[in-house]
């Protein structure tokens, strides 16, 4: 049986009237990535801060690598690496100096710290900037260096709090590659994100949280299945065709069609694949509808979130008191 490397049971944490965590339960098996997915204010960062010993929960308990985070924070800290939404780096130190400092504070041997720092700089493509103060770094470079600082002691458990928030697509892709690499190396990872695509792509398992509690848990496929099956989706050539397309799809699908005017898209739930596509094309053609694109589509995690919480995931939502 695989070991549980991160476990939280019934965590509560309030700030004044705000219940940031309201009975949060999580568990992450060794060597897997758990994606903690939720909108702003859902309690993701608070959960990470409790698990990384930065704040104490009001109630409940949590262990990392089997060690209680409240009772033995110092022990936990030797086994974790943390990279946050706000890169925790020293702006005036160079990239290399930051890694060396963090390495020595992890109490690595000075020689080992230097070897690993140099290797991380190389691996994270920061070689040219290694001897420049961090304040000259771009957002993507900061995140990579921050992740490097989390990795320098090669801890068995890594926490990533919104590792790609605010990065451009290129920066995001390179972070994704680094994170996927880590998981292949056997590190246990807990990653928070508000990007459904990110959780879908990287996480073995996803916990959707809202108002400080887990509201759904499973693999991306399982979560999508909760929302419903496959849909047939078409994109029409002109908005004028939308109405006719809706009628055609409703005739061969299951229930009402969903129409999105701006993207000229119409979709409908279907129960079986067999012959649906050819049938649809024939019908659309005889109805005079010009189609740009047609295909089967499984629900996205966006839709999962919408159906679980009644609102889109990427909307900014304040935690209710």
Partner 1 sequence: MSGVSWWLSDTVEMVRRNLIHIKRTPELLLDVTLSPIMFVVLFSLVFGGAIEVRDFDYTSFLMAGIFVQTIAFAGIYTSVLLANDLQKGMIDRFRSLPMSQSSVLAGRTFTDLLRALLAVAIMWAVGMALGFRPTGGLLPSIAAIGIMLLFGFALSWIGVAAGSLVRTPEALQGVIFAVVFPLTFVSSAFVPTSSMPDWLAWFADRQPMTLVIDAVRSLTLTGEPGPAAIPAILWSLGFLVVSLPLGIWLYNRRTTQ
Smallest separation, CB 138 to partner 1 (Å): 17
Q: Does 57 bind partner 1 (CB under 8 A)?
A: no
Contact map string, positions 13 to 42, toward partner 1, x by CB under 8 A: --x---------------------------
Contact map string, positions 118 to 157, toward partner 1, x by CB under 8 A: ---------------x---------------x--------
Interatomic CA distance for residues 321 and 318, integer angstroms: 9
Q: Decide whether 133 or 228 has the Cβ nearer to partner 1.
A: 133
Per DSSP, 66 falls in state: T
Say how many residues touch partner 1, by CB under 8 A: 29
Q: Does 64 bind partner 1 (CB under 8 A)?
A: no
Work out which of 71, 86, 138, 239 binds partner 1, going by CB under 8 A. 86
Q: Does 87 bind partner 1 (CB under 8 A)?
A: yes
CB 319 within 8 A of CB 39: no
Q: Decide whether 111 or 184 has the Cβ nearer to partner 1.
A: 111
C-alpha distances in Å from residue 134, one per residue of 20, 145, 180, 186: 32, 9, 25, 30
Q: Does 58 bind partner 1 (CB under 8 A)?
A: no
Work out which of 1, 74, 272, 321 binds partner 1, going by CB under 8 A. 74
Smallest separation, CB 4 to partner 1 (Å): 21
Q: Does 84 bind partner 1 (CB under 8 A)?
A: yes
Report how far Cα 197 is from the mean position of its chain's Cα atoms: 7
Smallest separation, CB 91 to partner 1 (Å): 8
- Name the β-bridge partners of 80: 157
Q: Does 111 bind partner 1 (CB under 8 A)?
A: no
Q: For the sheet containing 4-15, what is the strand order?
A: 18-29, 4-15, 59-64, 67-68
Q: Which of 216, 223, 217, 214 is nearest to 47 (CA)?
A: 214
Q: Which residues have C-beta within 8 Å of that of residue 44, sequence separation ≥ 6?
A: 36, 38, 161, 162, 192, 194, 209
Q: Does 104 bind partner 1 (CB under 8 A)?
A: yes
CB 205 within 8 A of CB 33: yes
Alpha helices in 5-138 (DSSP H): 44-51, 73-77, 95-105, 110-123
Work out which of 9, 22, 88, 308 binds partner 1, going by CB under 8 A. 88
Which residues make up the interface to partner 1 (CB under 8 A)? 15, 52-56, 74, 77-78, 80, 82, 84, 86-93, 97, 101-102, 104-107, 133, 149
């Amino acid at each position: 049986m695989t070991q549980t490397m991160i476990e939280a049971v019934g965590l509560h944490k309030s700030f004044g009237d705000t219940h940031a965590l309201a009975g949060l339960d999580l568990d992450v098996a060794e060597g897997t990535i758990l994606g903690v997915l939720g909108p702003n204010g859902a309690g993701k960062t608070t959960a990470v801060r409790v698990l990384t010993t930065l704040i104490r929960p009001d109630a409940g308990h949590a262990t990392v690598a089997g060690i209680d985070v409240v009772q033995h924070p110092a022990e936990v800290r030797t086994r974790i690496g943390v990279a946050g939404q706000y890169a925790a780096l020293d702006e005036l130190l160079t990239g290399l100096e930051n890694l060396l400092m963090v390495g020595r504070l992890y109490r690595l041997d000075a020689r080992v710290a230097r070897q690993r720092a140099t290797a991380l700089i190389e691996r994270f493509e920061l070689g040219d900037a290694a001897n420049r103060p961090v304040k000259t770094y771009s957002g993507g470079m900061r995140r990579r260096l921050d992740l490097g600082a989390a990795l320098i002691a090669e801890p068995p458990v890594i926490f990533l709090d919104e590792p790609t928030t605010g990065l451009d697509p290129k920066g995001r892709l390179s972070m994704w590659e680094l994170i996927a690499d880590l998981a292949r190396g056997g590190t246990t990872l807990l990653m928070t994100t508000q990007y459904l695509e990110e959780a879908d792509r990287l996480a073995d398992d996803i916990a959707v949280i809202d108002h400080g509690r887990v509201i759904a848990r499973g693999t991306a496929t399982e979560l999508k299945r909760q929302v419903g099956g496959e849909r047939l989706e078409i994109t029409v050539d002109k908005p004028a065709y939308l109405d006719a397309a809706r009628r055609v799809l409703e005739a061969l699908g299951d229930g009402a069609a969903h129409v999105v005017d701006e993207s000229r898209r119409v979709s409908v739930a279907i129960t079986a694949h067999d012959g649906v596509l050819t049938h649809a094309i024939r019908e659309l053609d005889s109805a005079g509808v010009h189609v740009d694109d047609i295909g089967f589509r499984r629900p996205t995690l966006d839709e999962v979130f919408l159906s679980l919480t009644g609102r889109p995931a990427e909307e900014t939502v304040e935690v209710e008191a």
